[in-house]
Structure 1
Amino acid sequence: MLSSIELYRSSNGDVWHLLHEVGDGLWIVRHQANLPSGGVATDMDVLDFMSQSSHGPEHDVLKKLLLEGDDLWLESGQHPDTAVASTVDHHPVQSSVLPD
């Protein structure tokens, strides 16, 4: 089962999600570009994403989620606390379970 949580939605329409494949433990950050930029989705390993030289608010949200969050939402698809990143200026966190 693939679980997803929206990390950040920028003012220009770009969206970042944290994806987790519950069965194999795969952790991916998916960046969905806005439509004027082509709307292309790019997947990156969480460690590679966090080691990028440029750090935006999407990195801050992920760091806060990983350090303070409870990963039980990954199995259920429901985040236990939608205020995980409330100290960062962005849209609220949303979660969903994606079909296999």
Structure 2
Amino acid sequence: MATGFGFDRDAVLQAVQQLTGVRSELESARQQAGQLSASGSRDVDLALRDFTQAAIQHQTTLVAAVAAVAGRLDDVVTGHAELDSALANERPTH
């Protein structure tokens, strides 16, 4: 019944699956990064270490944001089902 409002449940579920895939790819990339090797220059090594730590922090934040959006979209699907059920229960029968 709530689908009459233009809600495309399948499109939302597909977006959730795609976001979950993005999150998995980001997590996989972080695991594959490995250790930095010494460059022979203390300044370069420190700069690379700082850059790597900042990149990991940003990636962690991005993974959390993607997971949050996927969770919210999943909540939209749940809310839609609840609304649809409530509307169906309110519908007068003749």
Does TM, scored on the shorter chain, surpass 0.5?
Answer: no
Highest Rg: 1 or 2? Answer: 2
Higher strand share goes to which structure?
A: 1
- Name the TM tier (shorter chain): under 0.3
